[in-house]
Amino acid sequence: MLKLEPRPQASAFWSIASPLLALVVTVVLGTVLFVALGKDPVQSLRVFFWEPISSGYRIGELMVKATPLLLIALGLAVCFRSNVWNIGAEGQFVIGAIVAGGVALLAGKDTSRWIVLAIPVAGTLGGMAWAGLTALLRDKFNANEILVSLMLVYVATLLLSYPVFGPWKDPGGYNFPQSKSFEAVTQIPRLMKGSRVSIGLLIALAGVAVLWIYLFRTRAGFAQQVGGLAPAAARYAGFSSRKALWTALLISGGTAGLAGALEVAGPIGQLTPYVPAGYGFAAIIVAFVGRLHPVGMVFSAILMSMFYIGGELAQSRLGLPKSLTGVFRACCCSRCSPATP
């Protein structure tokens, strides 16, 4: 008779080995899928795992994709460690993009370059306000934050559709549903010429350091995690589970909103209906594959970015379906959850 029993404590070995094992299993399953689709598995795996890092420009594009994923995942890690299930980071990302885009559209030819500071701040506040709705409903009415945050994603998407199809629609845009391109002064500074990588990457890496210090070296970070996981113990120790709820959601919403602001004022350069790119949902995978650890999420964000870019290349070069990228992400995530032994 076989009997499954939970470990008394997490395995240090498997906490490192399971993501690597998941990657190996993903490659094996991917090979089977490629063969079943009649594609050369070696060439297909090369497109997914080598082409995205085969040149300096492509590495830069990898960082462009990884930046919003990492920023959103950092905020989600605070939520999940606090036992607050924010599934609506995509909506907070979109609201941050809308608010930041509105500020960017105020710029004219003579606007000071200082507006570039107001744009990410506006996006951050927008994301925090949207996440605050979930916190308010959970706090005052005990509404389930999973359902509330998820439903608000669709509300945010509809809110984006209104300005780009209506008052913010570019009159010279040949009737396409998009705002006019933002003025050059609103452009988030780029790290190097000839690359789309912006200082958003540096902000995300700084966020990694800040989150590590907050979670593992401060009393507030300890209280945050205890307040979410064990409310009774938190009250006994003088910690507030209510404060943990608000803090987690506001931090998560702020990072998602900041990611949205950096995206529309960086690589996109305008508001379009295609701002919702799924980063908010993919960042959930990034957070768990990275074991909700700031450093681990750096590597998982890069891996997820490879799946994004590899999937796009596989569609254009090999004629593979877009859904195959989702299969890769699902295979990797299903074997990297914290429940992995």
* pLDDT of the residue at 4: 79
Residue 157 pLDDT: 96
Domains: count for the chain: 1
The three-state secondary structure class of 272 is coil
In a domain, 2, yes or no: no
What's the rounded Cα separation, in Å, for the pair 253 and 260?
A: 10
- Amino acid identity, residue 268? I
Give me the DSSP letters along 185-242: GGSPPBSSTT---BTHHHHHHHHHHHHHHHHHH-HHHHHHHHHHH-HHHHHHHT--HH
- Asked, for residue 30, whether it belongs to a domain, the answer is no
- Structural domain boundaries enclosing 274: 61-334
Any idea which residue has 């509105």 for tokens?
Answer: 102
Between CA 23 and CA 325 the distance in angstroms is 14
> Do residues 188 and 262 lie in contact, with contact meaning Cβ atoms separated by under 8 Å?
yes
- Residue (of 332, 128, 148, 163) closest to 250 by Cα position: 128
Q: 203 in the Ramachandran plot: left (φ > 0), alpha (ψ -120 to 50) or beta? A: alpha
- The interaxial angle of helices 241-263 and 115-141, nearest 10 deg, is 150
Cα–chain-centroid distance for residue 125? 17
pLDDT, averaged per 10 consecutive residues of the chain (341 residues), comes to 77 75 81 86 86 89 96 97 95 98 94 95 98 97 96 97 95 91 95 90 97 95 82 76 92 98 95 93 92 93 89 82 70 53 33
pLDDT score of 284: 94
pTM of the full predicted structure?
0.91
In a domain, 339, yes or no: no
Residue 17 domain flag: no
Whole-number Å distance between alpha carbons of 114 and 116: 5
Q: Count of CB atoms within 10 A of residue 330's CB?
A: 13
Q: Which helix (H) or strand (E) element contains residue 223?
A: helix 219-229
- Decide if 340 is inside a domain: no
User: Does residue 22 belong to any structural domain of this protein?
Assistant: no
